[in-house]
C-alpha cells in the first residue's frame, strides 16, 4: 500500500480530487432551480467524477508512456475523432439554443467530439515531433550527418504537409459546427506544440506579439464592421456583446449582465452555498458555461481565487515536469496538457467577466458535463503516466550519482 501511495504524484492527483469534489457540490447547487431538479445532475456529475477517477488510476498504474508516444495509435485516435466530428456536424441535429451542431446524443449523456479533438491533437503532434527529435538526437550522439543522399520530404515547422492537412481538416470541422471557442483553443494548442517542438524563438515571439496586438485592437476592428453583420448570427453577436453588453441587457447580453450581477452580489466571501439569486432562472447555463459566476456569488471571490490557485498548482506541476524530463514526448505532451487547462480556464473566466467574448467553454472539472470532465480526466491520467516516467528518470540519476561516489 505504501508503495502505491508513493507512486502517486499528489501535486497532480490532489488538485484533481479537490476540484472534482468542488465541482459536484457547485453543480448540485447551481442546478437546484432547474425544473428537472438538482439530484439528477448530482448523480450524473458524481458518476462522471467516479469514471474520471477510475480513468486517472488506469493511466497512473497501467498505461506505459511508450504506448501513448506511438504515432500510429495517435493517428488512429485523431482519425476516430475526425469521424466523430463529421458525424456531429453533418448527421447529428442542431442545438436548439445556438443553432450549432457539435453533440452526439447517447442514451445517458451526450458526446462533444470537439473536446476529444483537443487531447487527440496534442497526442498526435507530440508523438510525431518526439519521434523526429528522438531520431535527430540519435544521429547527433552517433555523429551521423543529418543529410543523406536521399532527398528528404519537405517539412513545414517540422511536420509533413499531409500531417498538417490531417490536423487542419479536424480543426475545420470544429470551426464549422460552428464552435468558435473550442476551435480557437485547439488552434492555440497546435501552435504551442509546434513551437515547443523546436521552432525558432523568433516565431514564438512573433506569435505572442500578434495575439496581443489582435486582442488590443479587437474592439477597434469590430467597430469597423457593420452592425447588421454583428447582429446577423449567434456567433457574431458574441463579439457585439463583447464590445458593449449594456444596450442588449434584455436580449443578447442578458446572460453576461446577470453574470456581472452574480459576481458583484457574491463579493469577497459570497452569500453562502445554495443561496444564489441569479441561478433562480435569471442566468442561463448556470451549471455549465457560467457555473463560476454562481460559484463566486455563493462562495465569494476569495474562494474563486483558491480554486484558480489549486488549478494553477496542477498546471505548474505539469510544466515543472515538462521542463525537467528528458523524454521528448513527455515534455511536449505535458506542455500541451498544461496549456490546455490554462487556456480553457482563462477563456471561461474571461467570458464571464466580459474580458473576452463568450465562447461556451467550460471550466475544468467544475462545469457540468461528461465530455469535458472525462477528457480532462484522461489528460490528468496522461500527465500521471509522464510523471511516473519522470520519477524513474530521477531514480536512475540517483543510482548513477551513487555509483559515481562509490567509484
Alpha carbons 359 and 227: distance in angstroms, whole number? 20
Alpha carbons 242 and 315: distance in angstroms, whole number? 28
Predicted local distance difference test score (pLDDT) of residue 230: 64
Cα dihedral sign, 84-85-89-94: positive
> Which cell numbers in the block locate residue 334?
505535458
Alpha carbons 89 and 104: distance in angstroms, whole number? 9
Contacts of 304 (CB under 8 A, 6+ apart): 292, 295, 296
Instruction: Give the Å distances, CA to CA, from 236 to 75, 178, 216, 359.
Output: 34, 11, 18, 11
Predicted local distance difference test score (pLDDT) of residue 199: 72
Contact 336, 122 (CB under 8 A): yes
Predicted local distance difference test score (pLDDT) of residue 301: 96
Alpha carbons 132 and 112: distance in angstroms, whole number? 32
pLDDT in tens, the chain (407 residues): 666 677 789 999 999 999 999 999 999 999 988 888 889 999 999 999 999 999 999 999 999 999 999 999 999 999 999 999 999 998 877 664 555 678 888 777 788 999 999 999 999 999 999 999 988 888 777 766 655 444 455 676 778 889 999 999 999 999 988 888 899 999 999 989 988 887 777 777 887 788 888 878 877 777 777 766 666 666 777 777 888 888 887 777 888 999 999 999 999 999 999 999 999 988 888 888 999 999 999 999 999 999 999 999 999 999 999 999 999 999 999 999 999 999 999 999 999 999 888 888 899 999 998 889 999 999 999 999 999 999 999 988 888 877 765 55
Predicted local distance difference test score (pLDDT) of residue 99: 56
Amino acid at each position: 500500500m505504501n508503495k502505491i501511495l508513493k507512486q502517486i504524484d499528489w501535486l497532480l492527483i490532489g488538485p484533481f480530487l479537490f476540484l472534482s469534489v468542488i465541482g459536484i457540490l457547485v453543480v448540485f447547487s447551481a442546478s437546484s432551480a432547474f425544473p428537472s431538479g438538482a439530484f439528477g445532475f448530482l448523480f450524473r456529475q458524481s458518476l462522471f467524477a467516479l469514471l474520471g477517477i477510475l480513468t486517472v488510476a488506469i493511466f497512473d498504474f497501467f498505461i506505459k508512456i511508450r504506448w501513448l508516444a506511438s504515432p500510429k495509435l495517435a493517428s488512429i485516435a485523431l482519425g476516430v475523432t475526425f469521424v466523430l466530428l463529421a458525424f456531429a456536424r453533418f448527421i447529428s441535429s442542431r442545438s436548439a439554443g445556438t443553432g450549432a451542431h457539435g453533440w452526439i446524443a447517447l442514451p445517458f449523456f451526450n458526446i462533444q467530439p470537439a473536446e476529444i479533438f483537443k487531447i487527440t491533437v496534442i497526442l498526435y503532434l507530440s508523438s510525431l515531433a518526439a519521434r523526429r527529435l528522438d531520431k535527430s538526437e540519435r544521429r547527433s550522439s552517433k555523429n551521423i550527418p543529418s543529410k543523406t543522399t536521399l532527398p528528404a520530404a519537405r517539412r513545414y515547422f517540422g511536420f509533413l504537409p499531409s500531417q498538417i492537412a490531417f490536423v487542419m481538416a479536424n480543426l475545420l470541422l470544429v470551426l464549422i459546427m460552428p464552435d468558435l471557442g473550442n476551435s480557437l483553443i485547439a488552434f492555440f494548442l497546435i501552435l504551442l506544440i509546434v513551437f515547443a517542438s523546436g521552432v525558432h524563438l523568433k516565431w514564438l515571439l512573433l506569435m505572442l506579439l500578434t495575439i496581443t496586438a489582435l486582442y488590443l485592437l479587437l474592439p477597434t476592428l469590430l467597430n469597423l464592421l457593420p452592425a447588421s453583420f454583428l447582429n446577423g448570427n449567434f456567433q457574431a453577436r458574441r463579439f457585439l456583446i463583447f464590445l458593449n453588453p449594456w444596450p442588449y441587457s434584455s436580449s443578447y447580453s442578458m446572460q453576461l449582465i446577470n453574470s456581472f450581477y452574480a459576481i458583484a452580489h457574491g463579493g469577497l466571501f459570497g452569500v453562502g452555498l445554495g443561496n444564489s439569486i441569479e441561478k433562480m432562472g435569471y442566468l442561463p447555463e448556470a451549471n455549465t458555461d457560467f457555473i463560476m459566476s454562481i460559484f463566486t456569488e455563493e462562495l465569494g471571490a476569495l474562494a474563486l481565487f483558491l480554486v484558480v490557485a489549486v488549478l494553477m498548482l496542477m498546471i505548474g506541476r505539469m510544466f515543472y515536469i515538462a521542463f525537467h524530463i528528458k523524454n521528448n514526448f513527455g515534455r511536449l505532451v505535458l506542455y500541451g496538457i498544461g496549456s490546455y487547462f490554462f487556456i480553457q480556464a482563462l477563456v471561461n473566466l474571461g467570458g464571464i467577466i466580459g474580458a473576452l467574448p463568450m465562447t461556451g467553454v467550460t471550466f475544468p472539472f467544475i462545469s457540468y458535463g461528461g465530455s469535458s470532465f472525462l477528457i480532462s480526466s484522461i489528460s490528468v491520467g496522461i500527465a500521471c503516466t509522464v510523471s511516473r516516467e519522470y520519477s524513474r528518470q530521477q531514480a536512475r540519476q540517483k543510482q548513477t550519482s551513487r555509483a559515481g561516489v562509490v567509484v
